[in-house]
Amino acid sequence: MAKKIMKTEGQEADVLASAIAQMTTPQMTTPEGTELTEAQATKVAKIRQAGGKPEVTKCQRCGKILVRDLCVEREEGDLCSHYFDELGMTKDDLATERAKRTIKEVPQGWIKTRQLHRICESHSIPVSRMVKAMGTDRGMGPLLDPRFEFKYVGNARYVDGWCASEEGLALLKASN
Ligand SMILES: [Zn+2]
């Protein structure tokens, strides 16, 4: 469980932040329509009970909302801890990595990784497999297939629509 959250930290934080931003919405969904897991919904409900001014702890490196106790304690997310502390990368290194993956326009037939995430869910494919296939959160790890390489357009990440094809999903399903 902890392992899964580590791999999806970025997405998890985005989903939570989005749900918190929509405090008046009682449904278990974010403005983008992403369904919250039970744990996420519980977290959001607690924050709502606190009057909408939650005591959230943000990562000192990237500013994302931290969820796990260990991360809250050290005020740093697992991914930032990994890149900065374990790998010894600098902010410039990460910016360079990001620039390498940034393009100006969405290529034809490409879809948001958020959309692929939902498609995986509807096919009972764990999101951790999708994230791993894309080279983990920042795309720096090995790819399951070159077509799983994502690109940034602004803040959104896109992948080849092939990933959501029968072939792409089968490859994901068979991966671990
Ligand atoms: Zn961080």
The answer to whether 132 and 7 are in contact (CB under 8 A) is yes
CA dist., res. 93 & res. 107, Å (int): 26
For residue 9, the SS3 value is: helix
The least confident of 15-29, 45-59, 93-107, 125-139 is: 15-29
Question: Is the per-residue pLDDT at 16 higher than 70?
Answer: no
CA dist., res. 164 & res. 110, Å (int): 10
- Asked, for residue 168, whether it belongs to a domain, the answer is yes
Please tell me whether residues 75 and 130 are part of one structural domain.
no
CA 162 to ligand 1 center in whole angstroms: 30
- Asked, for residue 72, whether it belongs to a domain, the answer is yes
Q: Please compute the mean of the pLDDT values over residues 43-47 and round it to a whole number.
A: 73
Question: Is the per-residue pLDDT at 174 higher than 90?
Answer: yes
Please tell me whether residues 127 and 168 are part of one structural domain.
yes
Please tell me whether residues 82 and 14 are part of one structural domain.
yes
At 76-87, the pLDDT tens digits run 988 889 889 888
Please tell me whether residues 128 and 165 are part of one structural domain.
yes
CA 166 to ligand 1 center in whole angstroms: 34
The token pair that represents 95 in the structure block? 């910016």
**40, 57, 89 - which closes a domain:** 89
CA 87 to ligand 1 center in whole angstroms: 14
Please tell me whether residues 167 and 116 are part of one structural domain.
yes
Please tell me whether residues 43 and 122 are part of one structural domain.
no
Residues of the domain holding 74: 2-89
CA 64 to ligand 1 center in whole angstroms: 6
- Asked, for residue 78, whether it belongs to a domain, the answer is yes
Q: Quick one: pLDDT at residue 9?
A: 54
> Could you list which residues have their CB under 5 Å from ion ligand 1?
59, 61-62, 77, 80
Which one is predicted more confidently, 108 or 12?
108
Question: Based on the structure, what is the number of domains in the chain?
Answer: 2
